Amino acid sequence: METVLNTSEQELIIFDYTHFLSLLCHQKWTFIDFIQSLVPSFEMNIKSNISSPISPAEKLHKEALKVLSSSASDTQNIIRLLFLSRNEDIQGLVLLLPFALEPEQVKLIERKGKCKIEKQNDNGERLLITLE
């Protein structure tokens, strides 16, 4: 997965959702993984108090593999990704998508994810998300 930490004026994580979906489809699930996917906030709350020497980008990637699901909608996954980002004190995220989101999806993500979304290219497959 191409998760990159960009050190510009504002630190941004580049999250390749296309590659991530591919990883999710090839992931083997255990019973514990299934239970954790049903109650993702429970695991996030427990683990958020544990400090770790890995970068916020790496932590986000690891947590996303545990919490996001190929059976959930893209909108739900992105909202969960924003929640995970907040837990890692990430202020901005560049999200690379395999397709453009519908305007209704963007509005729902902005409202529920408490963020601002800007298209970074004409086709809407690269989004700059700023967490409020």
Question: Which tens digits make up the pLDDT trace of 17-33?
Answer: 888 877 766 556 566 65
Token pair belonging to 12: 């941004």
Write a three-state SS string for 40-86: HHHHHHHHCCCCCCCCHHHHHHHHHHHHCCCCCCHHHHHHHHHHHHH
**Predicted model pTM:** 0.73
* 46-84 per-position pLDDT tens digit: 444 555 578 888 889 888 888 888 888 999 999 999 999
pLDDT at 6: 41
β-strands 11-16, 115-119 pairing? unpaired
Q: Is 72 within the bounds of a domain?
A: yes
Would 39 be classed as within a structural domain?
A: no
Q: Is residue 38 part of a domain?
A: no
How many separate domains does the chain show?
Answer: 1
Q: Would you say residue 46 lies in a domain?
A: no
For residue 124, the enclosing domain spans: 58-131
52 within domain boundaries: no
Band of pLDDT at residue 34, cut at 50, 70 and 90: low
Count other C-beta atoms under 10 Å from residue 5's C-beta.
14
Instruction: Of 3, 83, 5, 6, give the one whose Cα is nearest residue 44.
Output: 83
Answer yes or no: is pLDDT of 4 > 50: no
Q: Could you read off the pLDDT of 77-131 as tens digits, one per residue?
A: 999 999 999 998 999 999 999 999 999 999 999 999 999 999 999 888 999 999 9
Which CATH number characterizes residue 116's domain?
Answer: 3.30.1370
The residue among 131, 36, 123 whose CA lies nearest residue 81 is 131
